[in-house]
Structure formats: structure tokens, C-alpha cells
Structure 1
């Protein structure tokens, strides 16, 4: 969680210089969800992400230097500088990709879960989707198909209450994603997405169910994002005072420190934060000095040869 926060806070600063191509959507404030879920996964398990995908990448084990190179559009990035922030992927760690299509992840994880079931290898697939994506038709079709085929998949909905700049109260008739999921026959729970331990417990149960043939599940994790929908978003839908209150009351890192008070040494946690910042600093320095893709590379990585 510390590394994700350091990564996102640094990107927020770097983006103001205009050196990063494309849109950036930051995950700060939602760290407990990605980490709480991915702690249960192996490199062979698959995840599909959203446009807000850096946290999922890091939690799944992606190298932050390779990620930073990719976000800066450099040739040695995880996707050779061609994906950038919104389409970053790392198949070596089972990260099937961020996605510019809202709700695009669940159908992809259906394919990964069907593969795992067919092979009988005990692997699972997990999709991360925002509350806005929960209203997309393909997401609903994916949940229904997962039940019909009894697939080893977990649908995680990161509910920060806003689809871009529109609050759920203005756009959603049935605001409980978990209750909607139950209509498809899915076991579904709602958890505090700012509490690592709450997410970790719910994810452990759902992933074990999937891994042992019990079928799909839904986790709705309530959370808040600390930056705008995208970098450059003026975020006029909430006041600075509201944002400061959210940070004071719902910061996953602060909540983790409170929950582990008397168990973990605060100095050790502070050292982790310092080391995270140092790794991110080094990744930025490497990315700034790295080469851009050659124009001749435009025709590569387009098709897969079987």
C-alpha cells in the first residue's frame, strides 16, 4: 500500500510537467482493495483492471521501474511504451491489462476463468471494476455467465460513489452492487474498502471458494479516491473541505497504522514509506533517461502469431 501511494503521489507531481503522454487516473485512497485481494493470488492467477490500474499492477507484483518506463512512454516499458497508463499490462505477473473501456475487465476474466476450469489447474481470475462500470451491460452478462458456467472468478467492485463526476445518487436506481449481484445467484458481500483487513478477509473467502470449485463471487468495496477522476480534473463536484475530511477519516494507510498499533513498530512502517519513495524516485530517474520507441516499432506488437 505504501508503494502504491508513493507511486501515485509522485505521478501526480510529474504529470504537471507535461512529460507524460496520455491520460492518468490515480488510485490513491483505494490501496487497501488491490492489496487485500492480491495478497491471496499467485503469479498464475489472472486479474483484469480498469483505467485506474497502477495499484492493481503493483499489488499483483509488477516491477515499478517497468511501470514507470511504460507510463513515460519509453521503449523498455512493460508494453514497450505503447500502452501507457490506461493500457498497461504485465502478463508475466498475470496482470491482463488496464482498460480504457469502462466495464471491460469482467468479460476478459471470464475467459481466463474458463481456461482455468478447463485445465483444472486451480487458478482463479479476478476483475476490478468501478461502480460506474457496474452499470455496463457486458459486466452483467459476465456475472450471469460466470454463474451459469460455475467459473473460478471473483468480481471486485471498487465503489467510490462516483462515475467520473456523477454521484451514484443521481445515476443509479439500485445503489447496492452486492444486492444486484445476488440477483444473478452470486454470493456477494459489501466491505469497507479502506480497511485492508476487511478486504483481505472477504477476498480470502471468495478466492478460496473459486479455487476449490465453489464458483464465482462478488465483493463490493466502499472507498474514496483522493485525486480527481483523471489528472487535470478540476473536481468541482466536491469541495476542498470535503476532500480533506475524506483523507482524514478514510486513508487506508492511516487506518492500517491504527489497526496495527501496538503490534507493528511505527518506525518500521516509516522506514517502509521512506524506502517506497526511494524506489519511486529511482524509477522516475530511470524513465526520464530512457529511450523512446523507434518510429519503426509502430508495426510490432500488433498481432500475435500462433
Structure 2
């Protein structure tokens, strides 16, 4: 959890220094949910996430330096600098995105689960999304087909209580989002997203059901955002009281106090862990800053899976007709 917290804090700093461009969404305040979910799936399982994906990538096993390099848009990034913050992808750890389109990952995750089922595999697909995704068509279509086809998939709704700047209560007729699964005869549960142990245990139940029964499951985790929707969002739509409430439920501080109170760790020992994490994040930043930017000549790489006849290689700034033609 500390790795996610310190990495995201350093990411926010790099963004304000104009070292990271594009959209950038942080997991600050959702660390317990991220770690709990990742503790419940196995190496053989597949993961699809939305654009708030940095923490999942780190805990799933992506190298912090390569993740930071991707945020910097550098060649050594996990997606060679082409994906950026919202499109972290690494087949080695079976994290298949990072998707910038709201709900774009749901049909693809269902397709992966169908492939597992078709091959009689024992893997499970976990598909994470935000609360706002539950109001789009792809959510309902995917849940419907997942039940009809008995797909081994766990849908996770990370409910931070705000769809950008709109509260769940203002956007959803049924604000307890896990109940929506009942429309598709799908088992579901709701858990405190600020409690890493509770999230892990609830997610393990969901994953075991999906694996053993070859049936979909929906899990809702309820937490909060410590910052705006993205790095540049000042979150002016939140009152001071709302912000104070979220900060009082900080999952990292809460786990620290819980470990010390239970005698499972000392404040000094946790401080040493924090210092180690700071060193890891510092090294990740140094790696990213030393990594080269992609060559302009590679702009059209990875556009098509195979060569395309008559494919134009003209750059946007090139003249439509060569001079002297």
C-alpha cells in the first residue's frame, strides 16, 4: 500500500513539473482496494482495469521503473511509451490494460473469460471499473452475457462515491451498486474498500466462486478519492466536510495504526519500510528520466498488425503534396 501511495504522490509531482503529459488518474485513497484485490487473484489469472491503473500495475508485478517510464512516455515503458498513464499493459503479468474509454474494458474482459471457458481453462478474469461505469450500456450488456454464457469473471466496481464530480446518489437510482447484479441472476457483495483485509477476503470468495463454479460474480468496494478525478481536477465540487471525512478514512494511515495497535508492527519498523519504498520510487523516477523518448520515425509502428498496402507514412506536419511535385 505504501508503494502505491508514494508512487502516486511522486507521479502527481512529476505531472505538475510537466514531465508527464496527457490525462493522469491516481489511486490515492484506494490503496486498500488495490492491494486487497491483487492479493486475491493468482499469477495465472487475467486483469483488466480502467484508466486509474497505476496501483494495480505495481502490485500485479510490473517494474516500478518501467511503469514510471510509461507515464513519462519513454521507450522503456511497459507499453514502449505509447500508452501512457491510462494504458498500462503487460502480458508477462497478465494485466491486459488500462483502458481510457469508460467501460471499454468490460466486453474485452468478457471475451477473455469466454476464451478461458472455450479452452476449459481454470483461470479467472478480474475486470475492475469505476462506479460511473455502471450507468453505461456496456456494463449491462456484458453482465447479461456473462451470466448467459457462464463466464469465469469477477466484475469489481470500485465505488469512490464520485463519477468525476457527480455523486453516486445523484446519478444512480440504486446507489448500492452491487444490487444491480441481481438483474442478471449474478451473485454479488459489498465491502469496505478502506479495509485491505476485508477486500482481500471478499475478493477471494468472488474469485473462488468464479473458478470453481464457472460463474460470474460482482464485488463492490466502497472507498474515497483523496484528490480530484484527475491530477488537474481541483475538486471544487466537494465541501471541506466531505474532504475531511475522506481523509479521516485514509486506508494507509488506518492500516498503520491498526498494525501498531495489534502489535503486528512497530512505528519504527513501518518507518523503515516507508524509507525503502521512497528509495524504490526515487529509483523509478531516475530510470524514467534516463529512458529515451520514442523516435519520430516510429510514429506509425504498432498501428496495424501486419503491413498494409498503400499505407500512408505521411506525418501530420508534412505537406500534402511534396514541394516541386
TM-score, length of structure 2 as denominator length:
0.90
For each residue in 1:37-70, what CA deviation from the matched residue of structure 2 results, as whole angstroms up to 9, or x when unmatched? 1112223211111111111111211111110000
Question: How many residue pairs end up in the alignment?
Answer: 305
How much does 1:214 deviate? Answer: 4.0
For the 8 Å contact 2:199–2:221, the answer to whether it is kept is yes
For the 8 Å contact 1:157–1:221, the answer to whether it is kept is yes
- Match of 1:129, SS state, is strand
1:227 equivalenced with 2:205 (yes/no):
no
1:141 alignment partner in structure 2: 141
Which deviates more from structure 2 when the two are superposed, residues 205-214 or residues 6-15?
Answer: 205-214
How much does 1:255 deviate? Answer: 2.2
For the 8 Å contact 1:46–1:125, the answer to whether it is kept is yes
For the 8 Å contact 2:155–2:219, the answer to whether it is kept is yes
For the 8 Å contact 1:89–1:98, the answer to whether it is kept is yes
2:95 alignment partner in structure 1: 95
Structure 2, unpaired ranges of 5+:
307-325
How much does 1:221 deviate? Answer: 0.4
Aligned positions of 1:11-26 closer than 5 A: 11-26=11-26
2:33 alignment partner in structure 1: 33
Aligned positions of 1:1-306 closer than 5 A: 1-248=1-248, 250-260=249-259, 261-304=262-305
How much does 1:264 deviate? Answer: 2.8
Mapped to 1, the partners of 2:247 and 2:89 lie a distance apart of 29
Query: Superposition RMSD on alpha carbons, in Å?
Result: 1.5
How much does 1:127 deviate? Answer: 0.7
- Match of 1:146, SS state, is helix
Mapped to 1, the partners of 2:176 and 2:66 lie a distance apart of 37
- Match of 1:212, SS state, is helix
Mapped to 1, the partners of 2:32 and 2:193 lie a distance apart of 6
TM-score, length of structure 1 as denominator length:
0.96
Mapped to 2, the partners of 1:41 and 1:172 lie a distance apart of 29
2:318 alignment partner in structure 1: none
Structure 1, unpaired ranges of 5+:
none
Query: Computing the radius of gyration over CA atoms, which structure comes out larger, 1 or 2?
Result: 2
For the 8 Å contact 2:41–2:204, the answer to whether it is kept is no
